[in-house]
Amino acid sequence: MDYAAREHHHFIDNRAEPPAGGGAVEVIDPSTGRRLGSIARGNAKDVDRAVAAARTAFERTWYRTPAVTRGRLLMRWSALVAQHAEELAMLECLDTGKPLRQARADATALARYFEFYAGAADKLHGQTIPYQDGYTVLTLREPHGVTGHIVPWNYPMQIFGRSVGASIAAGNACVVKPAEDACLSLLRAAELATEAGLPEGVLNIVTGLGPEAGAALAAHPGIDHISFTGSPATGAMVAQAAAAHHCPVTLELGGKSPQVVFADADLETALPVLVNAIIQNGGQTCSAGSRVLVERAVYEQVAAYGHFGRDDLDLTWERTNRVAELRAAAGL
């Protein structure tokens, strides 16, 4: 695709901005190994520019924009994503190497996230708290300000949609640092946000390497809240960097979920789901079913279907009514 083959800059203040250091990172199609184009190699100066743009947008316009207006804008953005879903899916397919079928599902999810948060934007209500006679006590929900978002490569559109969509709906301005392996679909989605009418500076994307641009974003004193999805080790570093300026964080550090197979299960239906739960998206899913707990009576059938060895199935057990024992075995 022509878009993938470009030399891409950052997205700051609704326009392409070249990197302060002039560097670039090659975009490689992992399924073929061929070079597609490049993205900007951002650094702390680029993050400074993006945070400043977001702060200006938040304080001058976005903070005072009525929630219903934010919701309508997100709805327009959702419609544009749906219209360009095939293009976005192809970009994500080329960028991450995932099957086009999965990339199409991710584009659909991106549109749905924006649609959901569009409807939720004007429903973030405070509370009236009972107090003494003649007094009224209120709580008000207010946006954080400028939020930072570090997005991984396995589901860039989905994680972008659920974190950035929520942040913008609540009245925040955003600075996003995607994984260097998967920037194209998000840069294109940002262009669609401009087309939908998102004001300058509300959404900013700085591309580049994690230890450079990502670390600068996590440690930036101008960030009021940061969300991160990725490994526990990197998540710990993000939390430590943010703690230096008392910035709250939301961390999603993955997790593996046990799959439980009872003897009375419909194995013809269950076993394909069992396998797909670990192999879909190359196994790079935070809820990947990487452990299988099988009732002894059907152990051999399950092992034969999946060509598992005994070491691959963590545990066999007889059915029991001791729910606590089962939960403990599953690590729940």
What residues are annotated to the active site?
Answer: 252, 286
The reported pLDDT for the residue numbered 306 is: 56
Burial 202-227 (b: 16+ CB within 10 A, else e): bbbbbbbbbebbbbbbbbbebbbbbb
The reported pLDDT for the residue numbered 291 is: 83
How far is the C-alpha of 221 from the C-alpha of 60, rounded, in Å? 20
Indicate if 319 and 226 belong to the same structural domain: no
pTM for the full model?
A: 0.85
The reported pLDDT for the residue numbered 275 is: 82
Split into its structural domains, the chain has a count of 2
Indicate if 192 and 265 belong to the same structural domain: no
User: Which parts of the chain register pLDDT below 50?
Assistant: 308-327, 330-332
Let me know if residue 80 belongs to a domain: yes
Let me know if residue 187 belongs to a domain: yes
Cβ count near 180 (within 10 Å): 20
How far is the C-alpha of 139 from the C-alpha of 54, rounded, in Å? 26
Indicate if 212 and 316 belong to the same structural domain: no
Indicate if 91 and 35 belong to the same structural domain: yes
Indicate if 101 and 167 belong to the same structural domain: yes
Let me know if residue 289 belongs to a domain: yes
Let me know if residue 3 belongs to a domain: no
Domain extent at residue 24? 10-252
Q: In this structure, what CATH number is given to the domain that contains residue 308?
A: 3.40.309.10
Judge whether 150 and 164 are in contact, CB under 8 Å.
Answer: no
3-state helix, strand, coil in the chain (%, to 5): 50, 20, 35
The reported pLDDT for the residue numbered 156 is: 96
Let me know if residue 2 belongs to a domain: no
Indicate if 71 and 178 belong to the same structural domain: yes
First to last CA, the chain: 45
Which contiguous run of DSSP H or E holds residue 128? strand 127-129
From 252, 270, 295, the end of a domain falls on: 252
The reported pLDDT for the residue numbered 161 is: 98
The reported pLDDT for the residue numbered 313 is: 41
Indicate if 232 and 130 belong to the same structural domain: yes
Q: In this structure, what CATH number is given to the domain that contains residue 82?
A: 3.40.605.10
Indicate if 77 and 168 belong to the same structural domain: yes
Burial 242-257 (b: 16+ CB within 10 A, else e): beeeebebebebbeeb
Place of tokens 């919701």: 71
